[in-house]
Homo-oligomer: A and B are copies of this chain.
Amino acid sequence: MNFSSDTSAPAHPAVLEALLKANTGAASSYGADKVTQRLRARLAEVFEADEFDFWLVASGTAANALALACFCPPTSSIICHREAHIQMDERGAPEFFTGGGKLHLMDGEGAKIDFDPLKDYLDDFDPRNVHATPPAVLSLTNLTECGRAYTPAEIARLAQRAKYASLAVHLDGARLGNALAHTGATPAEMTWKAGVDVLTLGLTKTGAIGCEIILLFGAAKSKGRELQARAKRAGHMPAKMRFLAAQAEAMLEGGLWLQLAAHANAMAQKVAAAFVEDGHDLAWPVEGNEIFVTLDEQAFNDLQEDGAQFYEWPGGSHRFVCSWATTQKDIDDLAASLGRSMRR
């Protein structure tokens, strides 16, 4: 009953098989190997993209910070939600990688940025004011920090307004697979077709060991060299790159990442149902693999006693996360634990 995080799960067996397969003979270092080259074609297919560039890193914080640093000069800022991972959980990585850029925080329900305050802020900002820090990037997260999914149309509306103000648009897709599985949108529809310039595609939470892909779409492709230079000087250009590429390849092969995300989402719906049935309120609709629920003391204690792992969340709810490895037994055990509480 480990619902603490999708990063607590092991890697999917296909990922390890891919590592074993990649581990034969000598290969060029730093991304000049065949696996990495092959991955390019696969990404073109998955994202229906001709014009793009990419880089592989092993952590989501690195992927976000490198992506943002290519678009936010040190004298500018990144607009993001008040609860965004880049604000709350990355120990100032965006500030570090941008060389001292700022985050400009916006509100919005379910950690989704509201259109109107964004529009107002951009309308009112006077670019001639040298004292104030001008926004250079809009960063969205899908799934959001509350497990909500933006639709492509929602992203497109925000992105369009941002682009009108000459901002670049970044998508933190640490759980993009879950958002795609929920909305039924294609990777292309949720990203470059909606105006996303640079994507952090997370595969770690979905089932890899540690593999995130930074994708630069369309004109943003011109940042490819800078991205590599920044990756290198941040220590994110591992010599034996083939082992990152092999993870990515295994996850994308045959749509495995989307299948694993869909499984995690389905399990999350079952967890949510168990809570609702037991009379608990969900803090947010479950639109991916995360459940935020308000537990009473009894249920909290029973779950703890029965060994369920989950996190208390700021705002008073508790977070449960499903992964590719969550089983029906985990659900049954959770339901049983909740049932025990009910019976009293």
Contacts and interface: CB of A to CB of B under 8 A. Distances in A.
A74 interface: yes
B91 A95 contact: no
Nearest to A208: B240
Contacts of A8: 26-29
Given A131-B232, A133-B91, A237 B75 contact: no
Contacts of A16: 16, 19-20, 23
Nearest to A96: B100
Contacts of A181: none
B99 A74 contact: yes
A139 to B, nearest CB: 15
A58 B58 contact: yes
A59 B239 contact: yes
Interface of A: 2, 4-5, 7-11, 13, 16, 19-20, 22-30, 57-63, 65-66, 73-75, 77, 88-93, 95-96, 98-103, 105, 130-133, 204-205, 209-210, 226, 228-230, 232-240, 243, 309, 325
Given A90-B233, A91-B133, A95-B101, 8 more contacts: A8-B28, A59-B238, A61-B235, A66-B235, A74-B96, A75-B230, A93-B232, A99-B100
